[in-house]
Amino acid sequence: MNTVLPDALRPLTPLIEAHLGAAVQGGARLQGGDISAAYRLRTTRGEFVLKAARPTGGTHLPLYAPEAEGLALLRAVGPLAVPDVIAFGEGPGGWQYLLLSYLPPADDTPALHGALGRGLAALHARPAPGFGGTPDNLFGSLPQQNLAAGSAAEFFWHSRLLPQLERAGAALGAADRARFAELRERLPRLIPPEPPSLVHGDLWHGNLLFTVRGPALIDPAAAFSHREVDLAAMRLFGGVPGQVFAAYAGALPPAEGWEDRAALWNLYPLLAHVNMFGAGYLARTREALEAALRLPERWAGD
């Protein structure tokens, strides 16, 4: 850890040191980060994590206030570990930043897999006041609405699928939009009626950590929604051990057929990937849409 920060970010160093009341002694880039660059910092007070980005594309979204709010929600409900928020804001050169506590990694073990599944079940079992209703935040780099809704289907359509469909514009053809209109009509009868839960909202394997404090969640897109959102996200890109799902089901069994409904819930992150990264995600989005339309209508709906 010989490099403190890359040249473009070095103007942030005095600000970071002021927040910490400590000197930055070294830094190393962490893996990942399509939206932000993340650095593990060594300081005279110990180790911390710095996330930093300069908004582009003509927008100036507050990148880290929503993430800090989501971490606070997850921390208040528990029981999984989340990093502590030290500070966030905007520094010199238009750089936005988020300063977090560092959670040292632990060995990836079956015991931690089970703890993650049970912890996620405990998170989802806590009562939530209703679907939506939290401040709007971000999914990746995209604005994410959290409108109050009377049902999971209403929330999923109006705050998740519809904004992404509108953003996609010409990327989706008339046939695609007709199939989404069909899904909209059927949606209330495809989703098992359950009370709302606080969900992480972007729970792919890269946002799960195994640490000395136990399983930890990072980079949330938190909301009050249907708990299957998180289960589906863990299946989207793979990498989550089966013991996690088994432990979850042992603590809080999902409704029958949840694995098949993963395609339905994952339409949201797939559409968001189309809008963030391009048409390379269209084929998988269409496959998920057709899988969702094949789901049986098990429930009476709204």
Residues 149 and 163: their CA atoms lie apart, in Å, by: 15
Residue 58 has pLDDT above 70, yes or no: no
Cis peptide bond prior to 241, omega within 30° of 0: no
Give per-residue pLDDT as tens, 277-291: 999 999 999 999 999
pLDDT band at 136 (very low <50, low <70, confident <90, very high): very high
Radius of gyration over every alpha carbon of the chain, rounded to an integer in angstroms: 20
Q: Letter for the amino acid at 199?
A: V
Residue 10 confidence (pLDDT): 85
Residues 149 and 207: their CA atoms lie apart, in Å, by: 27
Q: Letter for the amino acid at 1?
A: M
Q: Letter for the amino acid at 206?
A: G
Q: Letter for the amino acid at 194?
A: E
State yes or no: is 202 an active-site residue: yes
Q: What value does the mean pLDDT take over residues 19-45? A: 88
DSSP string over 175-187:
HHHHHHHHHHHHG
Residue 1 has pLDDT above 50, yes or no: no
Residue 294 has pLDDT above 70, yes or no: yes
Share above pLDDT 90 across residues of the chain, in percent, rounded to a whole number: 82
pLDDT band at 191 (very low <50, low <70, confident <90, very high): very high
Per annotation, catalytic residue among 202, 230, 260, 302: 202
Residues 137 and 11: their CA atoms lie apart, in Å, by: 27
110-293 domain in CATH 1.20.1300.10? no
pTM (two decimals): 0.94
Residues 196 and 199: their CA atoms lie apart, in Å, by: 9
**Neighbour tally for 256: CB within 10 Å:** 10
State CA 90 to chain mean position distance.
22
Give per-residue pLDDT as tens, 65-121: 999 999 999 999 888 999 999 999 998 888 899 999 999 999 989 999 999 999 999
Q: Is residue 196 within 8 Å of residue 128, measured between CB atoms?
A: yes
Where are the CATH 3.30.200.20 domain residues in the chain? 7-101
| Beta bridge partner(s), residue 47 | 42
Residue 122 has pLDDT above 50, yes or no: yes
Where are the CATH 3.90.1200.10 domain residues in the chain? 110-293
Could you tell me which CATH class the domain 7-101 is placed in? alpha beta
Residues 147 and 155: their CA atoms lie apart, in Å, by: 7
| Beta bridge partner(s), residue 138 | 143
Backbone angles phi, psi at 101, to 5 degrees: -70, 155
Give per-residue pLDDT as tens, 204-217: 999 999 999 999 99
Q: What value does the mean pLDDT take over residues 27-45? A: 85
Q: Tokens at residue 255, please?
A: 């409704």
pLDDT band at 32 (very low <50, low <70, confident <90, very high): low
